[in-house]
Amino acid sequence: MKLLNHTLKYLSLTLLVVIGVWALLFYLRMIEEVEDSLDDGLGNTKMIVIQRMARDPSIADRSGFSEHSYLINRISEKSALNFRDQYQDTLMYTLNEKTLEPFRMLKTAFREKGEYYLLTVVASAVEQDDLLRNLLYSIVLLYLIILISIFAINNWLLKRIWSPFYVLLNRLKEFRLENQRQIELPATNVTEFQEVSAAVKTLVAHSINSYVNQKQFIENASHELQTPLAVSLSRLEMLSEEEGLTDKQSALIGQVISDLKRIGRLNSSLLLLTKIESKQFLEVKRIDVGEIIDKLVEDFRDFAELKNIKISVDKKHKIQLRINPELALVLFSNLTKNAIVHNKYGGSLHVEINSNMIRISNTGELTAMDEEKIFRRFQKGGSQSSGTGIGLAITRSITELYDFELKYNFDGLHHFYLIV
Amino acid sequence: MKILIIEDQPELRSAIKQALEMENYIVEQAGNFTEAIDKVTSFGYDCILLDLMLPGGSGLDILKELKNQERDDNVIILSAKDSISDKVSGLELGADDYLAKPFHMSELSARLKSVLRRKSFNGKQLLPLGELNLDMENRRVLFGDIDLQLNRKEFDIFSYLSLNSNRLVNKSALAEHVWGDFMDQADDFEFIYSQIKNLRKKMLPAEKSVQIHAVYGLGYKLTVK
């Protein structure tokens, strides 16, 4: 749930409680006020009636609720003297509404010319039901209006206030460590956002630094390895020339040379990979894909013939790529070589060049490879492989450098697609 | 032939020195920029093997110095950097060849021989190997007047083995030289074997004086009597 609406959730609950309690208190207060007011009125009427009684005692006979709002009865002295004023609620029938309506009633006793009387005065009271209902509607309306206003204010005003946050968030999402570019921080004078921005800037700087150092380290390590490798190979080659070596000794030396060569290849591949990723192959030329494929097919011919693999090339279109020539060669020969190495005896290899896509298909193992894994370093597809497992990772690096797409799929044949 | 090795890594320097001395070259060495400049200005060499990354200066500066002095010593650049721009600068400054580390000694040997022949004989001479003659410029092998009609791969194999004649050439060195960088990853080198078989067949007329021997587990050797 979005932050703005999180706060709204809590606000609305709190408001509900607060407004509810307030409404209740308000209602009680209002009722109290109204009653006080009514009672004042009743007290006033009582005094008026008693005064008129003094002037004209006959009004006692004419009193009654059908004509007046008061009723006068004679009572005994004893009851009168014990009487206290009573204010109470009561129901009376009204002609206009034809129902029992609430009334406020005052019962009081008085004496006039030696006679004792009970005076009952009534006044129409507020209909509590109606009052309550109206109040409730108004409160609910108020509540909703408040909520809607808060929501609107939240979404408009606060969005503006939060915009630096969202800008930063977007930039974080787009950040790519390999580009080694610092994040641009949005201007803001909100303290918390400033602090986050500063922290992000530091973090990014550290990350980039770390990344660059690691790359540098790999590159240096690889370089350092070249020399001892070269020296070892050289010494072994001299050893292999010694007179009087037995076949077994020769074979062993040959194997060690082979193993060392493999280390050398791995090293070169790693070096190539780091160079590609640190963008050292900047020179680009227009390279004709058809020409490269032709050259590679020729180069790999002997290799393919060994496994009796038929190679076919279909140049539907002419494509020219703006790419570093060395990298172009590495890219296509990696794909081609893979297609031969992982092929079966008597299999086939087909290259198709379309207007924006090059497809290399080969026969081979009858199960699909995992597209996720094969492009990662050191994942080796297939059984036999003295490959370094890095070939496809290099291929992918190159395609990423130029924003090409590299895809794989399997439908009985293994297909690699290069989309440019 | 006198060779100067300019290389700062002592083990590599001594390994190359040993290998070349086994081929009867006279070898001198320099381990840093100042030593190198000293030797180069004082003496002439048939070929200089130059490492570009030297303590005290860049190998390219030595090349520039040679050019300034209008020297025509052969230079083969050896470099771990394998950078195109260095290659181009080096060749533009007058180097004759460029070899990336790590390399097979047989590759260095072959290149050295090529460079030496190119300069001294202007590449027009034939290299005699027993009853055969290797014509590098026209890419053919002659038995007397007869062209052995070697195909491209067969010629490359033959010339590489010849430039390292009577020395063992490692299988993978041969594969790298003839088929290129990507071929040394084959699991076995069967494809070499079939080409060698064909080559041997074509070399039959001269078999008494020149042969290709297979050394078990290691590679091939072209022997000349």
pLDDT tens digits along B49-102? 998 888 888 888 888 888 888 888 889 988 766 666 677 777 888 888 888 877
Closest CA to B156 of B183, B131, B130: B183
Q: Distance between CA atoms of A221 and A11, rounded to whole angstroms?
A: 60
3-state secondary structure of A338: helix
Report yes or no: B214 at the A interface, CB cutoff 8 Å. Answer: no
Select from A250, A261, A271 the Cβ nearest to the Cβ of B217.
A250
Please indicate whether, in this complex, the C-beta atoms of A237 and B153 are within 8 angstroms of each other. no
Question: Which residues of chain A does B171 touch, with a Cβ-Cβ cutoff of 8 Å?
Answer: 254
Select from B11, B18, B102 the Cβ nearest to the Cβ of A238.
B18
Residue A182 distance to chain B (closest CA, Å): 29
Q: Which of A157-166, A354-363, B20-29, B184-193 has the lowest mean pLDDT?
A: B184-193
pLDDT band at B124 (very low <50, low <70, confident <90, very high): low
Closest CA to B36 of B65, B10, B11, B12: B65
Region A253-280: mean pLDDT is 82
Q: Distance between CA atoms of A154 and A5, rounded to whole angstroms?
A: 8
Most confident of A129-133, A174-178, A254-258: A254-258
Question: Which residues of chain B does A264 touch, with a Cβ-Cβ cutoff of 8 Å?
Answer: 102
Q: Is residue B48 pLDDT above 90, yes or no?
A: yes
Mean pLDDT of chain A: 84
Select from B16, B184, B217 the Cβ nearest to the Cβ of A254.
B217
Q: Is residue A113 pLDDT above 60, yes or no?
A: yes
Residue B108 distance to chain A (closest CA, Å): 11
Q: Distance between CA atoms of B29 and A280, rounded to whole angstroms?
A: 32
Greatest alpha-carbon pair distance for chain B in Å reads 55
Region A224-251: mean pLDDT is 86
Best interface-test mutation with B: which of A225, A231, A345 has the largest number of B CBs within 10 A? A231
Q: Is residue A133 pLDDT above 60, yes or no?
A: yes
Instruction: Give the pLDDT of residue B71.
Output: 81
Greatest alpha-carbon pair distance for chain A in Å reads 161
Q: Distance between CA atoms of B55 and B8, rounded to whole angstroms?
A: 7
Closest CA to A337 of B214, B180, B23, B138: B180
Q: Distance between CA atoms of B126 and B138, rounded to whole angstroms?
A: 10
Instruction: Evaluate whether ipTM surpasses 0.85.
Output: no
Q: Is residue A383 pLDDT above 50, yes or no?
A: no
**Which of A54 and A387 is assigned the larger pLDDT?**
A54
Residue A252 distance to chain B (closest CA, Å): 7
CB atoms within 10 A of CB A269: 21
Q: Is residue A8 pLDDT above 90, yes or no?
A: no
Residue type at A3 in one-letter notation = L
Instruction: Give the pLDDT of residue A226.
Output: 81
Question: Which residues of chain A does B194 touch, with a Cβ-Cβ cutoff of 8 Å?
Answer: 302, 306
Q: Is residue A58 pLDDT above 50, yes or no?
A: yes
Please indicate whether, in this complex, the C-beta atoms of B11 and A237 are within 8 angstroms of each other. no
Distances in whole angstroms, Cα of residue A18 to Cα of each of A4, A69, A142, A148, A153: 21, 42, 12, 17, 20
Q: Distance between CA atoms of A207 and A217, rounded to whole angstroms?
A: 15
Residue B75 distance to chain A (closest CA, Å): 20
- How many residues make up chain B in this entry? 225
Collect all residues with Cβ–Cβ distance below 8 Å to A301 and sequence separation of at least 6.
A311
Across the A:B interface, residue pairs with CB atoms under 8 Å apart total 110
Q: Which residues of A52-67 are buried (b: 16+ CB within 10 A; e: fewer)?
A: ebeeeeeebeebeeee
pLDDT tens digits along B133-150? 888 888 888 888 888 888
Q: Distance between CA atoms of B163 and B136, rounded to whole angstroms?
A: 10
Instruction: Give the pLDDT of residue B47.
Output: 92
Q: Is residue B156 pLDDT above 60, yes or no?
A: yes
Please indicate whether, in this complex, the C-beta atoms of A254 and B218 are within 8 angstroms of each other. yes
Please indicate whether, in this complex, the C-beta atoms of B16 and A302 are within 8 angstroms of each other. no
pLDDT band at B188 (very low <50, low <70, confident <90, very high): low
Question: Which residues of chain B does A230 touch, with a Cβ-Cβ cutoff of 8 Å?
Answer: 12, 15, 101-103
Instruction: Give the pLDDT of residue A350.
Output: 92
Please indicate whether, in this complex, the C-beta atoms of A299 and B182 are within 8 angstroms of each other. yes
Instruction: Give the pLDDT of residue B76.
Output: 92
Question: Which residues of chain B does A228 touch, with a Cβ-Cβ cutoff of 8 Å?
Answer: 11
Judge whether B1 and B46 are in contact, CB under 8 Å: yes
Question: Which residues of chain B does A258 touch, with a Cβ-Cβ cutoff of 8 Å?
Answer: 172
Percent above pLDDT 90 for chain A? 9
Q: Distance between CA atoms of B67 and B30, rounded to whole angstroms?
A: 19
pLDDT band at A380 (very low <50, low <70, confident <90, very high): low
Please indicate whether, in this complex, the C-beta atoms of A250 and B179 are within 8 angstroms of each other. no
Instruction: Give the pLDDT of residue A381.
Output: 53
Put residue A34 in one of left, alpha, beta given phi > 0 → left and psi -120 to 50 → alpha: alpha
Q: Which of A75-84, A182-191, A271-280 has the lowest mean pLDDT?
A: A271-280
Instruction: Give the pLDDT of residue B184.
Output: 56
pLDDT tens digits along A271-308? 888 778 777 777 788 889 899 999 888 888 877 887 88
Region A137-162: mean pLDDT is 83
Residue B217 distance to chain A (closest CA, Å): 4
Q: Is residue A213 pLDDT above 80, yes or no?
A: yes
Instruction: Give the pLDDT of residue A134.
Output: 86
Select from A231, A306, A386 the Cβ nearest to the Cβ of B15.
A231
Q: Which of A127-136, A207-216, B215-224 has the lowest mean pLDDT?
A: A127-136
Collect all residues with Cβ–Cβ distance below 8 Å to A218 and sequence separation of at least 6.
A270, A274
Instruction: Give the pLDDT of residue B212.
Output: 92
Region A165-191: mean pLDDT is 84
| Helix (H) / strand (E) containing B170 | strand B168-170
Percent above pLDDT 70 for chain B? 91
Cα of first residue to Cα of last residue in chain A, in angstroms, is 40
Please indicate whether, in this complex, the C-beta atoms of B11 and A227 are within 8 angstroms of each other. yes
Q: Which residue of A has its CA nearest to B221?
A: A241
pLDDT band at B120 (very low <50, low <70, confident <90, very high): low
pLDDT tens digits along B95-107? 888 888 778 888 8
Select from A241, A254, A265 the Cβ nearest to the Cβ of B185.
A265
Q: Is residue B119 pLDDT above 70, yes or no?
A: no
Among all chains, which residue has been given the structure tokens 């090529």? B114
Q: What tokens were used for A125?
A: 């009271």
Using CB atoms and an 8 Å cut-off, which of residues 97-116 of chain B contact chain A? Answer: 101-106
What is the edge-to-edge ordering of all strands in the sheet holding B168-170? B168-170, B219-224, B210-215
Report yes or no: B59 at the A interface, CB cutoff 8 Å. Answer: no
pLDDT band at B3 (very low <50, low <70, confident <90, very high): very high
Best interface-test mutation with B: which of A224, A226, A384 has the largest number of B CBs within 10 A? A226
Question: Which residues of chain A does B84 touch, with a Cβ-Cβ cutoff of 8 Å?
Answer: 283, 326
pLDDT band at A228 (very low <50, low <70, confident <90, very high): confident
Please indicate whether, in this complex, the C-beta atoms of B168 and A228 are within 8 angstroms of each other. no
Region A75-92: mean pLDDT is 86
pLDDT band at B186 (very low <50, low <70, confident <90, very high): low
Judge whether B60 and B83 are in contact, CB under 8 Å: no
Instruction: Give the pLDDT of residue A384.
Output: 46
- How many residues make up chain A in this entry? 420
Q: Tell me chain A's radius of gyration from C-alpha atoms.
A: 49
Please indicate whether, in this complex, the C-beta atoms of B191 and A387 are within 8 angstroms of each other. no
- Taking any CB pair shorter than 8 Å as contact, residues of chain A touching chain B are 223, 226-231, 233-235, 237-238, 240-241, 247, 250-255, 257-258, 261, 264-265, 271, 280, 283, 299-300, 302-303, 305-306, 326, 333, 337, 341, 384, 386-388
Q: Distance between CA atoms of B59 and B86, rounded to whole angstroms?
A: 10
Judge whether B166 and B187 are in contact, CB under 8 Å: no
The number of C-alpha atoms within 13 Å of B155 and in the hemisphere containing its C-beta is 16
